[in-house]
């Protein structure tokens, strides 16, 4: 088997190991938050921050669920300077979270202190928390969420590919559920998006 065949087999195996019940719970939590007027707050570092941005845009534009991230350089550097790097995401949650919001917090290792602190703050504020992590099965982030999506891998790219696939699958399921709610009339086929 060549490198790419083996690589794609590995990715496929990790993606399919998702607990479908957890993905369905994610759909329900996000949909319920949106119906209650809440928004989805996403945060991560590096590639996980980029993933958070991608997911926030897709939630907002395609699924019609308000979503935000904290990827602005001025915000991160201001909060990191004033509160310390390990607390900048926590402070964002503190300042921007509202009742009925959900926090989706992403860390490949599950050990990023700023993301763990954000999860703890979200729980303190009684927000529902969805975590995405990999590496160690008992990583700190995985212990905090209401829903914890974990990838059994220590390879960053495998973890990240799996995380983005699971998150986009959740978004597509939310979109699909909304389409099922639209009444279809013969000869009056329309798209709600």
The DSSP result for 137-151, as a single string, is TT-TGGGT-SEEEE-
Domain locations along the chain? 24-175
Query: What pLDDT digit, counting tens, does each position of 128-154 carry?
Result: 999 999 999 999 999 999 999 999 999
Give which of 80, 81, 145, 74 is closest to 116, Cα–Cα: 145
Query: What pLDDT digit, counting tens, does each position of 172-190 carry?
Result: 999 999 988 765 544 444 4
Give which of 9, 67, 15 is closest to 38, Cα–Cα: 67
Per-residue tokens: 187 = 């000869």
Radius of gyration of the chain (CA): 17
**Gap between the Cα atoms of 76 and 57, Å rounded:** 19
Query: What pLDDT digit, counting tens, does each position of 83-122 carry?
Result: 999 999 999 999 999 999 999 999 999 999 999 999 999 9
Share of the chain above pLDDT 90, in %: 90
Please tell me the predicted confidence (pLDDT) of residue 186.
Answer: 44
Query: What pLDDT digit, counting tens, does each position of 22-75 carry?
Result: 999 999 999 999 999 999 999 999 999 999 999 999 999 999 999 999 999 999
Please tell me the predicted confidence (pLDDT) of residue 183.
Answer: 58
Question: What dotted CATH number matches 24-175?
Answer: 3.40.50.10490
* Strand order through the sheet with 102-107: 67-69, 40-43, 102-107, 128-133, 147-150
Does residue 170 register a pLDDT over 80? yes
Please tell me the predicted confidence (pLDDT) of residue 181.
Answer: 76
**Gap between the Cα atoms of 158 and 12, Å rounded:** 10
Read off the DSSP letter of residue 37: T
Is 0.85 surpassed by the pTM of this model? Answer: yes
């Amino acid at each position: 088997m060549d490198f790419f065949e083996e690589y794609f087999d590995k990715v496929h195996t990790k993606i399919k190991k998702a607990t479908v019940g957890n993905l369905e719970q994610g759909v329900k939590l996000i949909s319920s938050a949106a119906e209650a007027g809440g928004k989805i707050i996403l945060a991560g570092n590096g590639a996980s921050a980029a993933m958070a941005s991608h997911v926030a845009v897709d939630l907002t534009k395609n699924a019609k669920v308000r979503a935000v991230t904290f990827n602005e350089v001025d915000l991160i550097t201001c909060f990191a300077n004033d509160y310390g790097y390990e607390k900048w995401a926590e402070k964002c949650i503190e300042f921007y979270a509202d009742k009925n919001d959900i926090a989706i917090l992403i860390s490949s290792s599950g050990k990023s202190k700023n993301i763990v602190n954000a999860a703890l703050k979200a729980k303190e504020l009684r927000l529902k928390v969805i975590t995405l992590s990999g590496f160690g099965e008992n990583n700190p982030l995985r212990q905090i969420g209401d829903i914890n999506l974990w990838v059994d891998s220590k390879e960053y790219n495998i973890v990240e590919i799996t995380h983005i696939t699971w998150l986009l699958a959740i978004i597509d399921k939310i979109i699909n559920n909304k389409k099922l709610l639209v009444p279809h009339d013969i000869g009056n086929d329309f798209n709600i998006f």
